[in-house]
Amino acid sequence: MIFQLPAPELKNSESLVSCIEARRSVREYTDAPLPISVVSQLLWSAQGVTGLDHKRATPSAGGLYPLRLTILVQRVAELEPGTYEYQADSHSLKLIGGRVSERALKELGIGDQPWLKEAALIIGVAANLGEAVQRFESQPPQGVRGARYVYMEMGALAQNVHLQSTALGVGCVLVAGFDDSKAKKTLRLPLDLEPAALLCIGQR
């Protein structure tokens, strides 16, 4: 099942300076659902296409784009709870699984991180590290350069989402302390993808 997201807003927004100043990690959320327009805007800011040449919102070394987004939906207006894959070229979501239980979400984290189960949605970011390492294997230090580029791209993506969340008035926190094997299973990742980060988002 494919769900077409509404077009992102490309003109009216808070100033970049004010968003940088106001950006904070937010770990407490209300039970209110997120509007589908907010989800659309957040995903576009993460990996959306921004030009006719298929360039995306975040930079990628060599135009490789090794990152993939899986969305764990709990409370989003107009969208059934479930597990979705973001398809950047068509700005749409593909349903790939059912709703993930609160218990399973909580168990993703290392230590006590209640925001994992309380978030309205989680953007799971996965990376094809093998592809990146192979692509840049000739650049010293060998076996390291490609992975370094992927982590740089991940940082740019996370900051885009944080700043867009700030502009939209919703809360966001990046989670890097998670159980890799559980995250890979929950996000339904294929063998060539590894979990890189979880972005928890909800109404403040």
The Cα–Cα gap between 178 and 110 comes to: 5
Inform me whether the pLDDT recorded for 143 exceeds 80.
Answer: no
116 beta partners: none
pLDDT digits (tens, 9 = 90+) for 45-68: 999 999 888 899 999 999 999 999
Inform me whether the pLDDT recorded for 43 exceeds 90.
Answer: yes
Domains of the chain (ranges, CATH numbers): 2-203 (3.40.109.10)
The Cα–Cα gap between 80 and 121 comes to: 12
Amino acid at 141: P
Which residue has better confidence, 169 or 130?
169
For residue 165, the SS3 value is helix
Which residue has better confidence, 71 or 51?
71
